Amino acid sequence: MIKITLLFLMGLAGFGQFAFSQSVSIQQPNRLPQTVYAVSIIKKTLSEKGIKLKQEQGDFSLDLKLNTGKSNHEAYSIDLTGRKITITGDSENGLLYGCLSFCEDIRNGVQLQKIKPRNERASLPFRAIKFNLPWDTYRHSTALDLHKETCQDLTFWEAFLDMMAENRFNALTLWNLHPFPFMIRPTNFPEACSFTDQELARWQALYRGIFRLARERGIDTYLVNWNIYVSPEFAKAHNVTMDNLDHKIHATGDTSEIIKRYTRECVTQVLNEYPDLSGLGFTHGEAMWGMTPQQRQDWFGETILAGMRLANRKAKLIHRIPLSANLALGGSTSVETEQLTRRAMEKLDFLDGPIWAEIKFNWSHAFSSTDLIKVHGGKLNDTYFKPQPANYKIAWMARNEDFFCLRWGVPNFIRQHIATNSQPYVGGYFVGSECYIPAKDYFTKAGQPVDWRYAFERQWLFYKLWGRLLYNSATPDSIFKAEFTRRYGKGTETLLDASALAGTTPLRLASAFDFTWDFTLYSEGFMALNKKSMDYISIDRQINQPPADPAYVSVAEYVKVMAAGGTFEKARITPPMLIQRLEQDCRKALDLIKTVNVTNNNSLRYEVADVKAWANLGLYFAQKLRGAVALQTYRLKGGEPNRTSAIAHLQQALTYWDDVIAITRPLYNDMPLVHFSESDDGLKFHWSILRPAVANDLEIARKATVNTSN
């Protein structure tokens, strides 16, 4: 047992009294990585409070215990008996989380004698971040390339992994097309790696550093790739996949024997050379054009799975559910493909723990409805769930392709999401984006003094809500409000409620506007795919687009039914109901932040501005819907007052859009988005750029005519 004594200075400076000192001795059960890290966080927390170390028996005893006799639910308990504080974990992660919870109290100003006894355990065992790496990217885009320097710096990863541990995420999944040449020089295919020994050593140090830092924080690491890819150097040397040297995502599957052998040997060598890497994942999709589901599954069996079996240790596996049930890659589902995939997963008996079977929740837009409406390709049958699987657990992919700039945090949406989708066959969630990397902050205008460095730090509430609620879905709002107070002072805790109200805006748009893949909706910008380009959602598109959530009623359907004298079931959300909810919540959000003083805190200014932006976007949406109903009514029934009403509401919508511009223009740059920059044409996003398109809604209403065919 290692003893460390610490001096606590705990005072009542706010009451003008002298501080009094207390000392604490820490008993540490071992020097395993998570425990060493936990103690380092305790030391750091005390140091930030001006507390010094002292080598003698303390007035308080902080006893860290590891009780491995119980089941590993990453659980912990904190008990206070007299002057003894005991933190017990049922695993290394459980003990780490207990120490982090203790540190959270200290940071929030809780005195030792007032530490409250409590216990927590993980609601879900798999709590992952999806992180696309900016080299050999899934999409080729300047919006992704600009993160390369940041993501090659271990300082970034240390900060990111600290955030993950603090928020109880326990898996980091790293995605790119072909990771192996960045990590190894394949023994039998050295030509596949184009780096010099010195360059490769730098890449290897980066990956080993990431995996080591993650292990110390109780975080599993996975490499997840798309298929079938080889390095351009390998392709040229062996005259294979010559039609895909630039790594297009939609390419024909090359199943030649040399590619199979190369892939298999790379998998084995990476697992052997990187002992801190937890596992691998694979995708039944890109660069597998023309292959049947059976051929794709067979390919994985002969390559990645065979390579894992040959490694000198067990590894974990992410098995993505097939994105296509036919020869194409656009997305489709079938019972036969589900049965094939399930049989394949149930047979695997050499892995470390259950397989995490990843399924995209509501395709690329999980920030829509909490009900499972669709997956990649369409509707999901119950094949993966009935009967209860023995060898795998479902892990929902909560993809965010809907907001990258504005801060977002709606705790009850996440709670409901977890509660609705945590059946016994579910193991957890992935949270992350395909079209955005949370590394370099390219949003914030230069010259703005703020307390963050990296992009993910701007979205601290997003990560804290998802991580803490996935760990314990009963985590109360008081935890998140206390973090606002710690960061910005008393009176700012109302920002959580304001964020929760204003943040419903993108959720409601995504529920009311049907979508499929990434570019089919960008809620933050009120943009959607229009044939081959990403455009502003015009008033006509808003009228005619069917909803994603069947509980919602489109404008076109609403006006048609009402014109015919019909009614809707009470459970349906009609445009007038949606308008009422948007206006009620967004106006309340604006009221809540009226008293928040941002004068002396520029970081707080951004927090408040983002609530204002979401709220004004919600009010814009409400007026746009009013205008849409009036315009469609005019087209069906005529009546000049209907057209006049449409024009008036759309004019008010434009006013709210102008308010969004006024709020965001002083704070945010024009932003590079994958949606625009795949062709390097330099197009960027800001609400001001879309103003002409928003104003054009008025012209559409002014030029509207009555449909005489009705």
> Each residue of 345-384: pLDDT tens digit?
999 999 999 999 999 999 999 999 999 999 999 999 999 9
Over residues 261-279, mean pLDDT: 98
- 54 contacts 7 by C-beta, under 8 angstroms: yes
pLDDT single digits (tens) 113-137: 899 999 999 999 999 999 999 999 9
pLDDT single digits (tens) 622-653: 999 999 999 999 999 999 999 999 999 999 99
User: CB under 8 Å to 624, separation ≥6 — which residues?
Assistant: 539, 542, 649, 650, 653, 697
Single out the residue of 326, 394, 411, 317 nearest to residue 360, CA to CA: 394
Domain 2-120 in this protein, CATH class: alpha beta
Say if strands 355-360 and 316-320 run parallel, antiparallel, or are unpaired: parallel
Residue 12 has pLDDT above 70, yes or no: no
* Distance between CA atoms of residues 161 and 212, nearest Å: 11
**Structure-model confidence comparison of residues 157 and 683, the more confident one:** 157
**What DSSP line would sit under 203-233, residue for residue?**
HHHHHHHHHHHHHHTT-EEEEEE-SS---HH
Over residues 509-536, mean pLDDT: 96
Residue 46 has pLDDT above 80, yes or no: no
Computed over every residue of the chain, the mean pLDDT equals 94
Return the pLDDT at 50. Answer: 72
Residue 10 has pLDDT above 50, yes or no: no
* Distance between CA atoms of residues 410 and 137, nearest Å: 30
Residue 587 has pLDDT above 90, yes or no: yes
**Structure-model confidence comparison of residues 21 and 60, the more confident one:** 60
Return the pLDDT at 588. Answer: 98
Over residues 322-341, mean pLDDT: 94
pLDDT single digits (tens) 399-436: 999 999 999 999 999 999 999 999 999 999 999 999 99
Return the pLDDT at 71. Answer: 75
Return the pLDDT at 70. Answer: 65
Return the pLDDT at 16. Answer: 32
* Distance between CA atoms of residues 270 and 281, nearest Å: 13
* Distance between CA atoms of residues 280 and 319, nearest Å: 9
Q: Where are the domains of the chain?
A: 2-120, 126-475, 502-522+537-702
Return the pLDDT at 112. Answer: 86
Q: Band of the pLDDT at 22, cuts 50, 70, 90? A: low
pLDDT single digits (tens) 230-245: 999 999 999 999 999 9
Tell the CATH topology of 126-475.
TIM Barrel (3.20.20)
Q: Band of the pLDDT at 681, cuts 50, 70, 90? A: low
* Distance between CA atoms of residues 210 and 142, nearest Å: 24
Return the pLDDT at 4. Answer: 41
* Distance between CA atoms of residues 396 and 235, nearest Å: 35
pLDDT single digits (tens) 530-568: 988 899 999 999 999 999 999 999 999 999 999 999 999
Return the pLDDT at 56. Answer: 72
* Distance between CA atoms of residues 343 and 322, nearest Å: 13
Residue 211 has pLDDT above 80, yes or no: yes
Return the pLDDT at 677. Answer: 66
Return the pLDDT at 435. Answer: 95
Return the pLDDT at 7. Answer: 38
Over residues 248-274, mean pLDDT: 96
Q: Band of the pLDDT at 47, cuts 50, 70, 90? A: confident
Give the tokens for residue 489.
Answer: 């002072």
* Distance between CA atoms of residues 59 and 671, nearest Å: 54
Residue 5 has pLDDT above 70, yes or no: no
Residue 21 has pLDDT above 80, yes or no: no
pLDDT single digits (tens) 470-490: 999 999 999 999 999 999 999
Return the pLDDT at 14. Answer: 34
Return the pLDDT at 683. Answer: 83
Residue 24 has pLDDT above 80, yes or no: no
What percent of the chain stands above pLDDT 70? Answer: 95
- Per this entry, what is the length of the chain? 710
Q: Band of the pLDDT at 48, cuts 50, 70, 90? A: confident
